[in-house]
Chains A and B, each alone.
With several copies, the nearest count.
Chain A
Amino acid sequence: MKKVVSGADEAIQDIPSGAVLMLGGFGLCGIPENCIAALVKKGINNLTCISNNAGVDDFGIGLMLQKKQVKKMISSYVGENAEFERQMLSGELEVELIPQGTLATRCMATAYGMPAVYLLAGYGTEVAEGKEIRNFNGKNYLLENAFNSDFAIVKAWKGDTQGNLIFKDTARNFNPLMAMAGKITIVEVEELVEPGVLDPNFIHVPGIYVHRIFKGLHYEKRIEQRTVRKVSK
């Protein structure tokens, strides 16, 4: 069971053009920086990316957009990105907007072997168009399908060589869900340790869900909205 790979290039080497990818992160927080750089370098295209956001112009998935590698984005919020807007308005880029909780829960459904789930979000809105609606206990729910992706690419804080993962703070977000939802799950971590180092009671994603893991390099971790308070005197 060799899950450890040398780095991002090896981890993504068999991802073909046209693949459906899940990419973890919320905004620029907890994104798989190394794998994104490797995807840009590899130059594959026609990708469908399931990711809560699409990065900014010069960071995150924005880097892949600059290279026109993305055919379709499936996201909940895609602002803060001029090139994205240009491609979307020109019709080069297809965009499917999904409520954030629905996005998360459709990942979880895949992870838990549930083919579809009934969710409240979007009833009575254009999100409901074409979807089955069903009333349970007086409330209306939409039937939402589990996601079907080829690869999940996520960023964890620490991982062991068997693929057990833990995440830090709000860099957790979609990462564990996508890690568990991938047909092939690729994980970059800040710290890669031997089995037994991580406390088995505090594993966020058990190794069974993880296929490839490597220690990422040079994390920039860009901050999108730096907000601070002054030290009170």
Chain B
Amino acid sequence: MLNKEQIAKRIAQELQDGFYVNLGIGIPTLVANYIPDGLDVVLQSENGLLGMGPFPFEGEEDPDLINAGKQTITTIPGSAFFDSAMSFGMIRAGKVHLTVLGAMEVADNGDIANWKIPGKMVKGMGGAMDLVAAAQNIIVAMQHTNPKGESKLLSKCTLPLTGVGCVKKVVTDLGVFNITENGFECIEYAPGVTINEIIAKTAGRLTIAPTVKEIVL
């Protein structure tokens, strides 16, 4: 099983030189810690920044400089600020190569639900619907099952959707799954996890890739 840091580390393997990347709140944010050396990857924050740097040193926080999670951050050489319309414009125009975000549920056709639980306080979708509708390539980082042990990889989402047919890949604590015409395709499994466990804990259509192998971090 992968812990959160390991999920992030595995997703970081998807990065390529020159990628512009948007990282959602939670596990996705951790991906920034594992960008492979030598790759030039630029982080986009949808509140209006390309070239997001690390958190500021204590005492150097600037209230005018935050990320989409409202955390204080820094710039790096080559950063650029812009307004919210341009920010989502570049996402919509396909300029952001990769978006990583969390989810409550993913369906085997790429549908995603991550913004609303009926009966609970709804805080809003923020930029999630824009990101999932418009990004070129979307990877979901999440736990394979919910706290009750129920699969979050479903044949159909039960929660209100954030976007349809948009997720390309899911990385969970149990493995890595492409979304194909035939549903989830397990291409890698986590150390210590069996294929049978993955089959048991996946509710949506699942195939196991002939080349399936253990995740190497």
Residues on A lying within 8 angstroms of B by beta carbon are 1-2, 26-30, 52, 75-79, 85, 88-89, 97, 99-105, 107-108, 110-114, 119-127, 157, 160-162, 164, 167-177, 180, 194-196, 200-201, 203-204, 206-209, 221-231
B42 CB-CB contact with A under 8 Å = yes
Flag if B90 contacts A208 (CB, 8 Å): yes
B46, A100: Cβ atoms closer than 8 Å: yes
From B93-101, B138-146, B174-182, B183-191, the one touching the partner chain is: B93-101
Chain B window 27-46, contacts with chain A (Cβ cutoff 8 Å), 1 for yes, 0 for no: 00000000000001010111
Give residues in B with beta carbon < 8 Å to A.
17-18, 20, 40, 42, 44-51, 54-67, 69-73, 75-96, 111, 121-130, 133-134, 160-165
* A contact patch SS: loop
CA of A195 to CA of B61 in the docked complex: distance in angstroms? Answer: 22
Is B123 a contact partner of A223 (Cβ separation < 8 A)?
A: no
Alpha-carbon distance between A2 and B90 when the two chains are bound, in angstroms: 20
Contact across chains for A227 and B71 when beta carbons are under 8 A apart: yes
Chain A contacts for B129, CB-based, 8 A: 99, 101-102, 121-122, 125, 127
- Complex Cα–Cα for A135 and B94 (A): 17
- Residue in A closest to B40 when the chains form the complex, CB atoms: A1
Complex alpha-carbon distance, A126 and B51, angstroms: 33
Residue of A nearest to B67 (CB): A170
What residues of B have a CB within 8 angstroms of the CB of A207 in the complex? 42, 50, 78, 80
A231 to B96, CA, bound (A): 32
Known: A200-B75, A223-B66; 10 extra A-B contacts, CB below 8 A, are: A101-B91, A112-B88, A119-B92, A120-B134, A157-B64, A164-B78, A170-B64, A225-B70, A228-B56, A231-B58
CB distance from A37 to the nearest CB of B (A): 17
Interchain nearest-CB distance for B122 vs A (Å) = 7
Name B121's closest neighbour in chain A (CB-CB).
Answer: A85
Q: Which residues of A contact B163 (CB under 8 A)?
A: 123-125
**Set of chain A residues within 8 Å of B61, measured between Cβ atoms:** 223, 226-228
Which chain A residues border B133 with CB–CB below 8 Å?
A: 99, 120-123
Residues of B within 8 A of A122 (CB): 129, 133
Looking at B18, B124, B128, the one whose CB has the most chain A CB atoms below 10 A away is B124
Q: Are A225 and B72 in contact (CB under 8 A)?
A: yes
The reply to whether B50 and A1 contact each other, CB–CB distance below 8 Å, is no
Contact call A173/B44, Cβ cutoff below 8 A: no
Does the CB pair A1–B17 fall under 8 Å? yes
**Chain A min CB distance to B188 (Å):** 27
Are B80 and A203 within 8 A (Cβ)?
yes
Within 8 Å CB of A127, what residues of B? 125, 129
Distance to closest chain A CB from B158 (angstroms): 14
3 smallest CB-CB distances across A and B, nearest first, come from A113-B92, A101-B88, A196-B77
For B66, list chain A residues within 8 Å (CB): 26-27, 29, 170, 223-225
